[in-house]
């Protein structure tokens, strides 16, 4: 193929290289497994630049979902808990996943049920704003859950058939 995409036909390698030199282009093998192999005449530096430009654009368009962590203690105050729950709501609305962790120190570990109740209270307070992705898990001296934003599927309201409308009147 030529630099403008036109077909140049089948030709010997030496002739293709000579044609590339005349046009100040590079001969690039596109499909080596084809019979005969397919080559293109193009400016290789410009081609590489376009490829990296496309790659950067696609990376910019991607939304990276981060796992953010909010740490709690079993003896947290009511106001502090409300503040942490507001933080969780904000992180979820930003599109991140949130790991809510209850950290136990010293003998607090013997009352793991307090941590479980605290996590349940957080879930209950968040209500429909969060979905539990991973239930409460104990890992060493920490108990955690992972929350995500619920999927919001916008669906059209179902249309009522004309026959049903006539029966209601």
CB neighbours of residue 88 within 10 Å: 21
- Residue of 90, 140, 147, 141 whose CA lies nearest to 122: 147
**Average pLDDT score over the chain:** 83
pLDDT class of 155 with cuts at 50, 70, 90:
very low
DSSP H or E stretch at residue 146:
strand 142-148
Instruction: Tell if the pTM clears 0.75, that is, is over it.
Output: no
Mean pLDDT, residues 52-77 taken together = 86
Label residue 61 exposed, middle or buried (CB < 10 Å: 0-12, 13-18, 19+). Answer: exposed
* CA-based R_g, the chain, Å: 31
Domains and CATH numbers, the chain: 13-59 (3.10.20.80), 67-148 (3.30.110.10)
Strands 131-139 and 142-148, bridge-based pairing: antiparallel
pLDDT in tens, 100-133: 999 999 888 888 888 899 999 998 998 888 888 8
**Residue bearing the bigger pLDDT, 150 or 81:** 81
Mean pLDDT, residues 36-42 taken together = 85
Secondary structure (3-state) at 5: coil
| Dist. CA 73–CA 69, nearest whole Å | 13
pLDDT class of 154 with cuts at 50, 70, 90:
very low
Q: Where are the beta strands (DSSP E) in 20-122?
A: 26-31, 38-42, 67-72, 97-103
């Amino acid at each position: 193929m030529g630099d403008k995409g036109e077909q140049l036909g089948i030709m010997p390698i030496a002739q293709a290289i000579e044609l590339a030199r005349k046009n100040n282009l590079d001969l690039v093998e596109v499909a080596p497994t084809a019979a005969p192999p397919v080559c293109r005449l193009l400016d290789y530096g410009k081609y590489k630049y376009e490829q990296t430009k496309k790659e950067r654009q696609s990376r910019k368009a991607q939304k990276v979902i981060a796992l953010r962590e909010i740490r709690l203690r079993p003896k947290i105050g009511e106001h502090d808990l409300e503040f942490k729950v507001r933080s969780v709501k904000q992180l979820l609305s930003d599109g991140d996943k949130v790991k809510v962790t209850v950290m136990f120190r010293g003998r607090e570990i013997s009352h793991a049920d307090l941590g479980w109740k605290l996590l349940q209270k957080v879930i209950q307070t968040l209500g429909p704003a969060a979905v539990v992705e991973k239930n409460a898990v104990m890992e060493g001296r920490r108990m955690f859950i992972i929350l995500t934003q619920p999927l919001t599927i916008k669906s059209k309201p179902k249309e009522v058939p004309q026959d049903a409308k006539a029966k209601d009147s």
